[in-house]
Amino acid sequence: MSGHKTVHKEEEGTSRRDSEETISSNLKSPHKNDFYSRFIDSFQNALSALTTSNVNADGRYSKKSKLNSFSLEGIADYIKSQCPCNIIVMSGAGISTSSGIPDFRSPGSGLYNNLKKYNLPDAQAIFEISFFHRNPKPFFALAKELLPDNLKPTLCHYFVRLLEKKGLLRRWYTQNIDSLEFLTGMPEDKVVTAHGSFCTSTCTSCGEKYDLKWLRGILKSEECLVPICYKCKGVVKPDVTFFGESLPTRFFQCAISDFPKCDLLLIMGTSLVVQPFANLVNEVYCSC
């Protein structure tokens, strides 16, 4: 009997390791041959997450929705019926637009549409680390627009904070770099800033750290176009993840532990274009 338990435990451990390795591999190598195949995979996975297989009396499979309706009421009813519930939230720039921060891709008003004045080789260059090292001025000119003093969290931000207060939030994964999540009082350990944030900045030469208050003061100044380190005179860069930089290690660590335990995944304000963040939807178990 004890031998049987030992084998079962070893198999369980092996299965868990295999699962973690698969998730890590998927996130670190998310790209497939074309956008269409990625979309179909994500769409099919989303359908699987919303339905469970049930066998009818005649032996045929039918699909039964886990939600009473595809509405806020349906989601609320599901949360109440599953309590306690492990909810993961994935969010993007769309949840911050009502606070005055433009998103990236909205036609006519998105940030990428309004970057022509910076004479960039292309709109995305402003967030490329190689371009930043050559010419950081355009990024900091944009940063002034992204960090006005009167920023306040939106109802979406406070909704996620409410989930945390109710003990329902497993984790909040955000693409946003505006740090509005923390202005709600959200505990830092509950948030994964996949693309970094403006909360802290680091000198690119000596590694000296600076806080958001210091950066705001520098950006307000008309005399200083680029924040300079007081210790070594190097350029101080916000701890935002640029294209060409690795995502924070914590992003991968939390994803490996969080998504297998997810009961409900809520996606808000993101078009799920940027990888590997977009690939997180594929890490939710089909039983979710």
Taking only Cα atoms into account, the Rg of the chain, rounded to an integer number of angstroms, comes to: 22
* Residue 286 marked in a binding site: no
* Residue 203 marked in a binding site: yes
Dist CA 219 CA 215 (whole Å): 6
* Residue 199 marked in a binding site: no
* Residue 85 marked in a binding site: no
Q: Which amino acid is at 2?
A: S
β-pair partners for 173: 90, 192
**DSSP secondary structure, the chain, as one string:** -HHHHHHHHHHHHHHHHHHHHHHHHHHHS---S-HHHHHHHHHHHHHHHHEEEEE-TTS-EEEEESSSSSSHHHHHHHHHHH-S--EEEEE-GGGTGGGT---SSSTTTSGGGG-GGG--SSGGGGGBHHHHHH--HHHHHHHHHH--TT----HHHHHHHHHHHTT-EEEEEE---S-HHHHTT--GGGEEETTEEEEEEEETTT--EEEHHHHHHHHH-SS-SS-B-TTT-PBEEEEE--BTSPPPHHHHHHHHHHGGG-SEEEEES----STTGGGGGGGS-TT-
Is 195 catalytic? The answer is yes
CA 216 to chain centre: 24
Q: Which residues are annotated as a binding site for Zn(2+)?
A: 203, 206, 229, 232
Q: Which residues are catalytic?
A: 195
Q: Which residues are annotated as a binding site?
A: 203, 206, 229, 232
